[in-house]
Structure formats: structure tokens, C-alpha cells
Structure 1
Amino acid sequence: MGIDSIIVWLLVGAIAGWLAGLLVRGGGFGLIGNIAIGIVGAVVAGWLLPFLGVNLGTGIFRAIINAAIGAVIVLVLLAMIRRA
């Protein structure tokens, strides 16, 4: 994996984490936290969405949308754990 791939992962993670932080009330964790949530969300969505048969778009926009959906799922789960 090259440095350019890592930069793209971080960029997609940052955008997805930021979007998820906007969508989930009280879900922001700062820049580094949002990047981490976005990357974890991309992994979750990469497993969950194909399992459900969901196919959204192509290219980088697909990666951002999928990662944002996964990040929202992760943030909702984290909020549920915090309240428990």
C-alpha cells in the first residue's frame, strides 16, 4: 500500500466521520476521532452493505457514502453504549 492510498483512506474517513457527526446528534469526536470513526465506519459498511445487497454509486463517492453510513451506525452504537 502506497502513501497515496493511505492519504485517500484518511480523506474518505475524515469526510465520512464529519458527515456522520453532523447526522448523529452529539456524535462529533474532533478531527482525529472523526477520521477514526469514518475508517471504522468504512469497514463496517464494507461488510454490512454487500451482505444486505445494497450497492450505492461508484468510485470515490461510493466510498464516502458507504463510509458515512457505516460511521453513522458506529456513532449510534457508541451513543447507546454510553447511555447504558
Structure 2
Amino acid sequence: MNLILWIVIGGILGWLASLVMKTDAQQGLLLNVVVGIVGALLSGWLLAPMLGTGTINSDDFSLASLGVSFVGALILLAIVNLFRRGRVR
């Protein structure tokens, strides 16, 4: 059950991050899920230890972990936009 919840929450976070970064029209459902989950992994390595919280990848579905995972998805989209277009957007 946690796997399904992880995919759904990752998809929602990836979709919200793509709306903020204005890349929603270029991405589909699958890429939104990938961005949400990989962004949570990225933030799990970088941000979670500094803030003392978990991410959605560590089965921690608190408000703090959702925020950290969302910021990780934003960072991932910014990095992708930087390499694709030469600017973050």
C-alpha cells in the first residue's frame, strides 16, 4: 500500500513543481511521477539531514517531509531547465 501512496504523492508533488516551474505543458503524467520521486531522493540526500526531517521516500508522510520533497522536485526541474535551455526559468 505504501508503494501506491508513494507513487501518487510523488506524482502530485512532481505536478505541483512543474506548475511552479511552468513546465507542465511539456510533461506527462509519467514524467511528473518521476520528477516527484527523484526530487524527493535528491532532497533526501541534500536537505533532509540539514532540516532533521524525512522525505516521502523514507515513508514519512508528514507536512515537513512533503515540503522537503516538493523543494527537491523544484531543484530537479531547475537543474533540468538549466541544462536544456541554459536558464532556470
Structure 1 residue 55, shift from structure 2 partner: 4.4
1:11 aligns with 2:13: no
User: How far does the alpha carbon of each residue in 1:12-45 deviate from its partner, in whole angstroms, 9 at most, with x for none?
Assistant: 2011101101111225511110000000001001
Contact 1:12 1:63 in 2 (8 A): no
Distance 1:25 1:63 in 2: 23
- Give the share of equivalent positions with the same residue, in percent: 34
Query: Structure 1-normalised TM-score?
Result: 0.79
Q: Which residue of 2 aligns with 1:73?
A: 75
Q: CA RMSD of the aligned region, Å? A: 2.2
Unaligned runs of 5+ in 2: 54-59
Distance 1:72 1:38 in 2: 9
Query: Structure 2-normalised TM-score?
Result: 0.75
Q: How many residues align?
A: 80
